[in-house]
Amino acid sequence: MKTNHIGRPRSISILLMLVVATSTAQASNSDSPLNLVWISVEDMSPWLGCYGDSTVPTPNVDRLAEEGIRYVNAFATTPVCAPSRSTLITGKWPTELGSMHMRTGKPSVAAISRHPEAYANIPNYEAVPSPEVRCFPELLRAEGRFCTNRRKTDYQFKAPETTWDHTGGKAHWRKRPAGDQPFFAVFNLTVTHESGTFAKRPRQPRAVDPHSVTVPPYYPDTPTVRDDIARTYDNIAVMDQQVGRILKEVADAGVLENTVVMFFSDHGVGLPRGKRCIYDSGTRIPLIIRWPATMNRRGIDERVVSFVDFAPTALSICGIRPPAWMSGAAFTGEYAEPGTGLAFIHADRMDAVLDRTRAVTDGRYRYVRNLMPERPRLYNVAYAANVPMMADIHALRASGDATPDQWQMVDQTKPKEEFYDTAADPHEVRNLIADPSHEARIAALRAALTAWMQDTGDLGLHSEGDMVRRHLWDGAPQKPATAPPTLAIKVIDGRRHMVIECETEGASIGWRLEGESTWHLVDGPIRLPDDAMKIEALAHRIGYLPRTNTRSVTAIVE
């Protein structure tokens, strides 16, 4: 069964199936803690067989869904990668962290060359959470888990080195020092990224005929548009093979039945009016969670879940109570809570293009508030201009021949408010904001969005330069630095121990001995090996400059 592309399936009967299992985070046939694997793919809507789209075979992801729970109302917090990842790693809203703009820090050369004035008053900065916030893998490491991240750490801030045991292109859970140590492993698959449709990029093997794809009504039906859609499916087919290899590694190691696997994408499809747009096409994601077979957790879950819930859910699956500072709630695992039934979404500066939009959905109905209605919906972003179909969209704008369903692609302004029923209008092209039959629904979602913006202290409502200097840097003229860590020897029970501290509130503190590459967490006095000669200490509050201090053990006095 095919989907209406970048939308919901035409005729899938969504039934909430009974999942027969307890909510405990322990496998029923073992007292061992569960391992957790995240498979994160990029720029992909639910264009998968298990979600009703048979355009291209996706047998590995489909098997994952058959053996697990498929969530049909899962949403990114924003339709672009780096701000979304800031939420995934912290459990906080981007609008709380100051990470809502794409990107913080040094802008791309392409962005500067096109709009140098856009960055005139924006300093080089990182998002700065409140001091209690940590990247959640650090909390897992503190409980004895081995945490790895294969390749990507794109969080709008430099993650403290204490976040992971290993990160980078060769990071893998198999490298844990103890074979039975529980692990959390992230695999970031990039083959479905927007750039996979760029003309200069090598093509993946063809898996679908461009003539066979369905073209959403908001696109012009041209050969280039069809080819870009088909090429996106070709990339999905390769992604599915990569997923199969990861699952095989886990199975071959004999740990699949003590491992929970979460599969999801970082936002919607990387095509125009998908990525960077707050509609379903940009924010509805696939989410599948496979539990060990002995736990008998299978079916479909209709609850609304958001990226802000993923960090607390990961902790809950691992049997760890999420801290109160996390803004989301665990939706499964030992510490699962009822959700609000709503997902809140934002879109702010996209590279050099400033805009400000807020939205909320209950899974079916979506209310959109355009805070800069004088701007067009489709962003003229330099990077996105590399997608070949953008030339056809610009031609459509110039022609004056757009259909009524293509208004979002061609209009140079936006309505102040929008409202959509995705069941009746899966492509969200019929704005029902003035429909009296939806007056009560609109009022309820409008009020919920206003309350969320107020309760979270939406930093995106400030000019970016003012947000950075006043709210993230507390009035300082430049990026703050973490205080250097201090080291002191203490003799405890006749043995030398090192005490490492930092004056900066909220700093993550780590240490390693000479010759080590991994930073260990400081959770108390460190017992020093008798042959230790040098120790290096690290202190890093998120958003601040990190500081290190290397000392000779023999030179440090009590």
Give the catalytic positions in this structure.
Answer: 81
Assess contact for 405 and 429: CB atoms under 8 A.
yes
Indicate the helix (H) or strand (E) that contains 287.
Answer: strand 284-290
179 CB burial (10 A radius; 0-12, 13-18, 19+) = exposed
Indicate the helix (H) or strand (E) that contains 246.
Answer: helix 223-252
User: In one letter, which amino acid is 140?
Assistant: L
Secondary structure letter of residue 303 according to DSSP: E
475 CB burial (10 A radius; 0-12, 13-18, 19+) = exposed
Which residue shows structure tokens 């994952």? 64
Q: How far apart are CA 26 and CA 32, in angstroms?
A: 7
158 CB burial (10 A radius; 0-12, 13-18, 19+) = middle
Assess contact for 499 and 488: CB atoms under 8 A.
yes
CB atoms within 10 A of CB 521: 16
Which residue shows structure tokens 């599969």? 263
Task: Assign 215 to helix, strand or coil.
Answer: coil
Q: How far apart are CA 85 and CA 153, in angstroms?
A: 8
Q: How far apart are CA 127 and CA 468, in angstroms?
A: 8
Q: Does a cis peptide bond (omega within 30 degrees of 0) precede residue 70?
A: no
Assess contact for 203 and 233: CB atoms under 8 A.
no
CB atoms within 10 A of CB 386: 16
Secondary structure letter of residue 472 according to DSSP: I
Looking only at the bridges linking them, the beta strands covering 486-492 and 495-501 are antiparallel
State the alpha helices, DSSP H only, in 117-222: 136-142
Task: Assign 490 to helix, strand or coil.
Answer: strand
Assess contact for 85 and 102: CB atoms under 8 A.
no
326 CB contacts (<8 Å, ≥6 apart)? 90, 91, 92, 308, 311, 312
